């Protein structure tokens, strides 16, 4: 089992987007005030991300248009934080490119969500990438030690965002 609070169940993608199905482990499925401070200290631009989540975080008192993730970070579901963190990593790696994401429930009962990140044409990102194909060994994978070929920078960012968030969650315990 993964040491963090998020576990990748499966992943995939196509020429337009990458996705990861994520299980929320433990009893605290949302961003706490302490975690929000850590995230915003490490990634201050998260506060300015556009966020069209109809529900928003559980503690959102007032809505303003346009809403930002900073308005909704406390009480946001952890996979929603993964979505914004992955986009932030991509924006840093590929300046001038536009990325978008969404997070939806697969099963509320089993606390599983799908995070999807869209990306510009794969050729544009491939031209910007300086290294060869990436691989990643996810924490808590069903076949430990197996490398998963990453089909896109968006998928790599999802894996990295989950690892980063699990690391920050460990410091909040």
Per run of 10 residues, the mean pLDDT along the chain (length 173 residues) is 72 87 91 95 95 57 68 94 96 88 94 90 53 39 39 87 94 82
| Residue among 88, 96, 57 nearest 160 (CA) | 88
Q: Classify residue 83 as exposed, middle or buried by CB count within 10 Å of its CB (0-12, 13-18, 19+).
A: buried
- Model pLDDT, residue 125: 55
- Model pLDDT, residue 9: 95
Cβ contact 134:156 at 8 Å: yes
- Distance of alpha carbon 139 from alpha carbon 46, whole angstroms: 24
- Model pLDDT, residue 142: 33
- Distance of alpha carbon 172 from alpha carbon 60, whole angstroms: 22
- Distance of alpha carbon 167 from alpha carbon 112, whole angstroms: 20
- Model pLDDT, residue 15: 73
CA atoms within 13 A on the CB side of 152: 27
- Model pLDDT, residue 10: 94
- Model pLDDT, residue 69: 94
């Amino acid at each position: 089992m993964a040491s963090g609070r998020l576990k990748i169940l499966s992943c995939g993608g196509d020429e337009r987007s990458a996705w990861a199905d994520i299980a929320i482990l433990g009893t605290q499925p949302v961003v706490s005030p302490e975690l929000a401070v850590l995230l915003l200290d490490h990634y201050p631009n998260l506060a300015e991300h556009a966020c069209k989540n109809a529900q928003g975080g559980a503690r959102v008192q007032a809505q303003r248009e346009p809403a930002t993730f900073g308005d909704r970070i406390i009480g946001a579901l952890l996979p929603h934080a993964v979505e914004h963190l992955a986009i932030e990593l991509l924006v840093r790696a590929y300046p001038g490119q536009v990325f978008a994401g969404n997070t939806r429930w697969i099963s509320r009962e089993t606390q599983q969500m799908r995070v999807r990140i869209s990306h510009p044409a794969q050729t544009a990102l491939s031209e910007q990438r300086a290294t060869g194909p990436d691989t990643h060994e996810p924490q808590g994978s069903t076949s430990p030690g197996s490398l998963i070929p990453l089909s896109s920078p968006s998928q790599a960012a999802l894996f990295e965002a989950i690892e980063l968030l699990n690391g920050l969650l460990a410091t909040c315990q």
